Amino acid sequence: MTDEQFTPLAERYMDTVFRVAYSYLRCRDDADDVTQDVLIQLYKQDKAFESDAHVKNWLIRVTVNRCKNVLRAPWHRAEDIADYENTLVFEQPQYRELFEAVMSLDRRYRLPVLLYYYEGYRQREIAGLLDIPEETVRTRLARAREKLKHILSEVPQYA
């Protein structure tokens, strides 16, 4: 891949790769490392992509696989979510509470929520990206909504 091809793709999808990695790993440093590794992999890629959607799907799939490798590593440690959260700026206070609620979910629920609600993927596409059955995606999204409803009902402003 040439620099002219790589630069716009990296600029367009770097945030998406980071969000997927962070939601999977819940550690800013590990998510930064995964983002860098994935973008290097993209740069080294010599096959032509069919479309922007194909590039984005490829990047998410590679990111998920790289995150799984990181979690298997013996040196992996979880970071306190509050450390990263303190660096974020939210337009409204309830956005912070929603972020906290989503990040408190188990990984198997967090990633489908991110891909479905934030990235705009359909359930079938999420199933392909995560290599799980479509029905599993539906179930995880439904359970995540129930868990979020319960978590947010405990927050005074949502109750």
Quick one: average pLDDT of 65-78? 76
- pLDDT > 70? residue 157: no
Between residues 156 and 108, which one has the greater pLDDT?
A: 108
Element spanning 103, H or E: helix 93-104
3-state secondary structure (DSSP) of residue 143:
helix
Q: Which amino acid does the sequence have at 11?
A: E
List, for residues 24-47, the tens digit of each pLDDT value.
Answer: 888 888 899 999 999 999 999 888
User: What are the angstrom distances between the C-alpha of 64 and each of 79, 108, 122, 144?
Assistant: 18, 12, 17, 19
Domains of the chain, start order: 1-78 (1.10.1740), 89-159 (1.10.10.10)
Q: Determine the Cα–Cα distance for residues 34 and 63; give it in Å rounded to an integer.
A: 7
Token pair of 63 as six digits = 């990111």
Check residue 89 and give its pLDDT. 65
pLDDT tens per residue, range 11-27? 999 999 999 999 888 88
Q: Could you tell me if 38 and 59 are in contact, meaning their C-beta atoms sit under 8 angstroms apart?
A: yes
Q: Residue 133 and residue 131: Cα distance in Å, rounded?
A: 7
Phi/psi of residue 107, each to 5°?
-55, -40
Over residues 85-128, the pLDDT tens digits come to: 555 666 777 777 787 888 888 888 988 998 898 888 899 999 98
C-alpha to C-alpha distances, 135 to 60, 119, 131, 152, nearest whole angstrom: 20, 19, 12, 25
User: The whole model's pTM is what?
Assistant: 0.59
Q: Is the pLDDT of residue 56 over 80?
A: yes
